Chains A and B, each alone.
Chain A
Amino acid sequence: MPIDKKQIIEKESAVVDGIELTADWNRMFEQRVMHYEDSDALDKVRDTPGAESIGYCYQCGQCVPVCPVDAVGEYGPFRVYKDLLIGKDLFKSPELWKCTTCMQCLRVCPKQVDMIQIMPAVREEAVMEGDVPEELQEAFENTFEYGNPLGESQRKRADWIQETGSNVPIMKEKKEADILWFVECYPSYHARGKDASAALAKILNALGTDFGVLGTEEKCSCDSQRLAGEVGLFEEFAEENIATLKKYKFNQILVTDPHALNAMRKKYPEYGGNFDVIHYTTYLAPLLDKLDLKNTLNYKVTFHDPCYLGRHNGEYEAPRQILNALPGVELIEMGRCREQSYCCGGGGGGMWLDGFMADHVSERLSENRIREAVETGADLLVVCCPYEVSRFEDAVKSTGNEGKLQVKDIAELIVEAMG
């Protein structure tokens, strides 16, 4: 590297303690910044309960190439660790909010550095200090106030049933059912979520399933809020939901949302809620031959594995079984599928951080995924997580692929086949 001449300091003479030094000492480089390495930043994280495993990193770097955020920016647990080593405070850093808890890194990590534990633990502290991106804070407040992150009225949680003309019994009246359907927020309030809910209701009725929903008694499962650091909110809502669920008799909880599946399977037992919980694709896959699928569809489809259904809860087959059973549906897999599936960007609080993320990535994760889906030549992207329809539909527009690719919930596709 060439020497920067401006860095050279030249003095007429150098005098130390009254003694003039030789001419060599008159000419010198500016002082370089020397770095003092300390472990304070790392200690602060690894001393946080739940975040201990950050200290296990032996810097192999395997987590970075699989990190979905790195594909559109610069991120990954190794980089988070390296920043800590050079003294950057994670608690106050934007790096704290980029992780979608998709679990790709943990899948390949030989040391099991567990970002699924580390992120919520550190974020919880930051939330308590008030160091939270504004839009995420708003989602937290909405959830706290209205029972859902969208800020919709709790009283209107079951309005979708009438709006869509669906036939859905309410547990408050029914008291007892084989299947308790936990609908969740986006499927209750979001326009495209309601479409999917109406479709699922139609399928359950066609199957003659004995089911009911909690209606206005249901509250957000808060799993994504938990992973985004609002652990207190999660606990409060978990206790409320568990108390409500315990009022009724049922055999199984059917969830639309893989994030609710995750909360109820992995976290609710800690609060005394031991339920048999099943995702709707897992429930429907073996029952498809009981449906009269008289319409032959004409679709080339590709399928996006939700992080919280696949990597987090091990279900890769059920959605594919369904797609393969639908007449006239040809499934083309994307390169990144199953265990290696890409992330829509909605998990771990990402659903409410789109504005923040825009400053840190070259494109949204959902946009990156849409490009991949379009590349397969499919005309339909099938999803089975309520975060995804809206995220991917937006991304289809913003990537200029309108008209080339549609996004549908798998339940909508089944209903189309039923005719």
Chain B
Amino acid sequence: MANENILVIGGGPTGLEAAKGIADLGYKAILVEKRDRLGGTPDAAGYAALTPDMRDAGEAMDEMRAAVENNPNVEVMLNTEVTASEGEVGNFTVTATQDGKEVKIECGAVIVATGFTHFDPGRETQKYGYYEHDDVITLVDAEKLLKSGNFVRPSNGEKPKRVAFIQCVGSRDRQIGNEYCSKVCCGISSKQAIEVRELLPDCKVFIFYIDMRMYGYWENEIYWPAQEKHKVNYIKGMATEIIRKGDHLIVKGEDTTMRRPMEVPMDMVILAVGMEPSEGTKQVADIFGLKKNQYNFIETIGGALNTVSTNVEGVFAAGACTGPSDLEDCVSAAGAAVMKSIATIRRVAVPA
């Protein structure tokens, strides 16, 4: 007899969407979350607005949370970490610790939605002096400032007059080992650039890039408005060094279109940090015996036509635990994982 409950690991956008989907289809979802609150990275890191639709992130996460909390078909387990798994498709017994106490969860299928972590720009090289200069911050730090509505220089609390974004920090980099494109940073930088321009109309904003990778509607929904309406300056060429001179940061680099060196004074520099697998993703992959790729993201095995199946039957992976993903990818993958996990349970319960 197959167990018809589905365990969802991770309470971020992917896990929330998956749990809601399972409940909507009349099955029972058990949603476990390590933190004491649902909402995942957008909540934990204090995102201001979502990309690309600029919707208030807090409000959007509230809505996703509301759909599973008090939902009779969803059991939410907070402060819960999965520690072991036994059994096979149709009958998994998953061990977890909840508030320090061991609990057993019986389920027929598992959806892993353990997400990503932001690249630490001081991890490999101190190229941009993230830990040296107060006014060198990351996209994540900038989100918090934008959310507070008080976008000021961390060094002195003054409003910046010149802000630069540096793209591809920790992505597309063989030295660091992250050869992939993190997919969202071009869009998020452009979105933040718009927000900075709206908050501080006198502040000039520059984006230093190798290629702007704004696929699909992100081109016309973010990139073009940033440039056309909000007068964000895009400069092709990367900064290599940031040095402090008096009260300013000097961004040194090469303008590759003009083929000339540049040294540009800035008040703040925002590093567009990419995505890496979260600790939870690596741990959960090992617990369930899921294959990881060379970057430690969970490997899905179905190629382009199946983005959620893993090497373990009955265990699916969705969202940023499988690789760099935007929110659109995450909720789409959640839907696919729900469909396939329920189909799997039904097949095991009623063999053909």
A residues apposed to B, CB below 8 Å: 58-66, 70, 76, 78-79, 82, 107-112, 335, 340
Q: How far is the CA of A76 from the CA of B254 in the complex (A)?
A: 10
- In angstroms, how far is the closest chain B Cβ from the Cβ of A376? 16
The residue in chain A whose Cβ has the minimal distance to the Cβ of B243 is A335
Is A112 within 8 A of B238, CB to CB? no
Q: Find out whether the CB atom of A70 lies under 8 angstroms from the CB atom of B238.
A: no
Contacts of A76 in B (CB 8 A): 254
CB distance from A286 to the nearest CB of B (A): 27
Whole-angstrom distance between the alpha carbons of A101 and B118 in the complex?
34
Q: Does B241 contact A (CB under 8 A)?
A: yes
A64 with B174: in contact, given A59-B210, A70-B261 (CB under 8 Å)? no
- In the assembly, what is the distance between CA of A58 and CA of B211, in Å? 9
Residues of A within 8 A of B261 (CB): 64-65, 70
B123: CB under 8 A from chain A?
A: no
Q: For the complex, is B256 an interface residue (Cβ under 8 Å from A)?
A: yes
- Give the complex CA separation of A227 and B174 in angstroms: 24
Q: Is the CB of B256 within 8 A of A59?
A: yes
- Measured CB to CB, the closest approach of chain A to B93, in angstroms, equals 45
Interface residue from A60, A62, A63, A111 paired with B174 (Cβ < 8 Å): A111
The answer to whether A60 touches B175, judged by C-beta atoms less than 8 angstroms apart, is no
Contact B259 A60, beta carbon cutoff 8 Å = no
Task: Convert B115-135 into 0s and 1s, putting 1 for each residue whose CB lies closer than 8 angstroms to a CB of A.
Answer: 000000000010100000000
- B residues within 8 A CB of A78? 254, 256
Q: List 26 A-B contacts (CB under 8 A).
A: A58-B211, A60-B210, A60-B237, A60-B238, A61-B237, A61-B238, A61-B253, A61-B255, A62-B238, A62-B240, A63-B240, A63-B254, A64-B240, A64-B254, A65-B239, A65-B240, A65-B241, A76-B254, A78-B254, A79-B259, A82-B256, A108-B127, A110-B173, A110-B175, A112-B174, A112-B175
**Which of these, A59, A66, A110, contacts B241 with CB under 8 Å?**
A66
Q: What residue in chain B is nearest A62 (Cβ atoms)?
A: B240
Q: Among B176, B238, B241, B252, which residue has the most Cβ atoms of chain A within 10 A? A: B238
B256 contact set on A, CB distance < 8 A = 59-61, 78, 82
Kindly state whether residue B172 has any CB partner on chain A within 8 Å: yes
| Chain B, residue nearest A104 (CB) | B240
| A59 to B259 alpha-carbon distance, docked (Å) | 10
Measured CB to CB, the closest approach of chain B to A333, in angstroms, equals 14
- What 1/0 flags go to B224-254 for Cβ under 8 Å of A? 0000000000000111110100000000111
Q: Distance in Å from the Cβ of B274 to the closest Cβ of chain A?
A: 11
Docked CA distance A78–B225 (Å)? 31
**List of A residues within 8 angstroms of B241 by Cβ:** 65-66, 340
Chain A residues whose C-beta falls within 8 Å of the C-beta of B259 in the assembled complex:
79, 82
18 more A-B residue pairs beyond the given contacts A58-B172, A65-B239, A82-B259, with a C-beta to C-beta distance below 8 A? A59-B256, A60-B168, A60-B210, A60-B237, A61-B237, A62-B238, A63-B240, A63-B254, A65-B241, A65-B254, A66-B240, A70-B261, A76-B254, A108-B127, A110-B168, A110-B174, A335-B243, A340-B241
> In the complex, how many angstroms separate the beta carbon of A361 from the nearest chain B beta carbon?
14
Q: Which residue on B lies nearest to A66, using beta carbons?
A: B240
Flag if A65 contacts B252 (CB, 8 Å): yes
Pick the most buried of A62, A79, A82: most chain B CB atoms within 10 A of its CB: A62
For this complex, into which size category does the number of interface residues on chain B fall?
Answer: 20 to 34
Residues of A within 8 A of B174 (CB): 110-112
In Å, the complex CA distance between A66 and B240 comes to 7
**Chain B residue contacts of A107, Cβ below 8 A:** 125
Contact: B173 with A62, CB < 8 Å?
no
Which of B243, B254, B256 has most A Cβ within 10 Å?
Answer: B254
Give the shortest distance, in Å, between B166 (CB) and chain A (any CB).
Answer: 10
The residues of B that contact A335 with a CB separation of less than 8 Å are: 243
- How many angstroms between the C-alpha atoms of A60 and B210 in the bound complex? 5
Task: Report how far A58 CA is from B179 CA in the complex, Å.
Answer: 13
Question: What distance in Å separates the Cβ of A368 from its nearest Cβ neighbour in chain B?
Answer: 15
The 4 closest A-B pairs by CB, nearest first: A61-B254, A110-B173, A64-B254, A61-B256
Tell me, in angstroms, the Cα distance from A64 to B174 when the chains sit together.
18
Chain A CB within 10 Å, residue with most, of B240, B256, B261: B240
Cα separation A59 to B127 with both chains bound (whole Å): 18
Instruction: Give min CB distance, A66 to chain B, whole Å.
Output: 5
- When distances are taken between beta carbons in the complex, the residues of chain A under 8 Å from B237 are 60-61
- Collect the chain A residues with CB atoms within 8 Å of residue B176's CB: 110
Q: Considering the complex, which residues of chain B in the window 199-240 have a beta carbon less than 8 Å from any beta carbon of chain A?
A: 210-211, 237-240
The CA of A68 and the CA of B243, in the complex, are separated in Å by: 17
| List of A residues within 8 angstroms of B253 by Cβ | 61-62, 64-65
A60, A62, A78, A109 — most chain B CB neighbours (10 Å): A60
Smallest CB–CB gap between B267 and chain A, Å? 20
Q: Which residues of B contact A112 (CB under 8 A)?
A: 174-175
| Cα–Cα distance between A340 and B128 once the two chains are bound (Å) | 12
Chain B nearest CB from A64 CB (Å) reads 4
Residues in chain B near residue A70, CB distance under 8 A:
261
- Smallest beta-carbon distance B127→chain A, Å: 6
> With the chains together, A58 CA to B237 CA distance in Å?
10
Residue of A nearest to B167 (CB): A60
> What separation, in Å, do the CA atoms of A110 and B259 have in the docked complex?
19
The residue of chain A having its C-beta at the shortest distance from the C-beta of B174 within the complex is A112
C-alpha gap A98/B237 in the complex (Å): 23
Q: How far is the CA of A62 from the CA of B167 in the complex (A)?
A: 12
Look across to chain B and name the residue whose beta carbon is closest to the beta carbon of A335: B243
CB distance from A84 to the nearest CB of B (A): 14
The listed residue with most B CB atoms (<10 A of its CB), out of A59, A76, A79, A82, is A59
Complex-state Cα separation, A109 to B125, whole angstroms: 12
Q: Give the residue name and chain of the B residue nearest to A108 (CB).
A: B240
Interface residues of B in 118-172 (CB under 8 A from A): 125, 127, 168, 172
Alpha-carbon separation in the docked complex, A65 to B128 (Å): 13
In whole angstroms, how far apart are the Cα atoms of A3 and B173 in the complex? 45
- Given the complex of chains A and B, what is the CA–CA distance between A78 and B125 in angstroms? 21
With a cutoff of 8 Å between Cβ atoms, the chain B residues found around residue A59 in the complex are 210, 256
Q: Are A109 and B175 neighbours in the complex by a CB distance under 8 Å?
A: yes
Q: How close is B164's CB to chain A, nearest CB, in angstroms?
A: 14
Report the bound CA distance from A111 to B259 in whole Å: 19
Q: Which chain A residue lies CB-closest to B256?
A: A61
What is the bound-complex CA distance between A82 and B236, given in angstroms?
A: 14
Chain A, residue nearest B178 (CB): A110
CA distance A65 to B255 in the complex (A): 10
How far apart are the CA atoms of A62 and B211 in the complex, in Å? 14
Closest CB-CB distance, A11 to chain B, in whole Å? 38
The CA of A78 and the CA of B257, in the complex, are separated in Å by: 11
Q: How far is the CB of B187 from chain A (nearest CB, A)?
A: 19
A178 CB to closest chain B CB, in angstroms?
38
Q: CA A61 – CA B173 in complex, angstroms?
A: 13
